[in-house]
């Protein structure tokens, strides 16, 4: 599913003007989204977007950057609300993992994507 989530802003040439908003993914129905972070999770050279939900299904979603302003949302975990999520290479293998803080635990999701 390629979709249009979080607005991105384009810096104007005239710094006195407001930035142009580009929406990416508007149909995910996010429930209290938080912890937006950016990392190249699949190693294709394009920055992907991480977002997590503080309520509802507690989804952890990576929006794979397909290029050309197109993103594909991939739910990589769900079931418990996430207070905070961040992209960080926890095990030092060169691939960004995801660090999560939930009410009952601090944990991390290992990125097992094949290197490109």
Q: Which residues bind Ca ion (CB under 5 A)?
A: 40, 42, 44, 46, 48, 89, 91, 93, 95, 97
Query: From the CB of 2, what's the least distance to Ca ion, in Å?
Result: 14
Residue located via tokens 């944990």: 107
Query: From the CB of 21, what's the least distance to Ca ion, in Å?
Result: 22
Q: Indicate the burial class of 78 (C-beta count within 10 angstroms; 0-12, 13-18, 19 or more).
A: middle
Alpha carbon distance 68, 50 (integer Å): 18
Nearer to Ca ion, 31 or 93 (CB): 93
Nearer to Ca ion, 53 or 97 (CB): 97
Nearer to Ca ion, 16 or 115 (CB): 115
Alpha carbon distance 70, 89 (integer Å): 25
């Amino acid at each position: 599913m390629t979709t249009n989530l979080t607005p991105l802003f384009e810096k104007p040439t005239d710094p006195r003007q407001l930035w142009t908003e580009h929406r990416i993914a508007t149909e995910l129905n996010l429930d209290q989204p938080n912890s937006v972070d950016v990392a190249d999770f699949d190693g294709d050279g394009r920055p992907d977007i991480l977002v997590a939900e503080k309520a509802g299904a507690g989804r952890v979603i990576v929006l794979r950057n397909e290029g050309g302003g197109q993103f594909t949302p991939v739910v990589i975990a769900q079931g418990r609300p996430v207070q905070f999520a961040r992209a960080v290479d926890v095990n030092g293998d060169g691939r960004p993992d995801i660090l999560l803080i939930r009410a009952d635990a601090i944990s991390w999701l290992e990125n097992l994507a094949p290197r490109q």
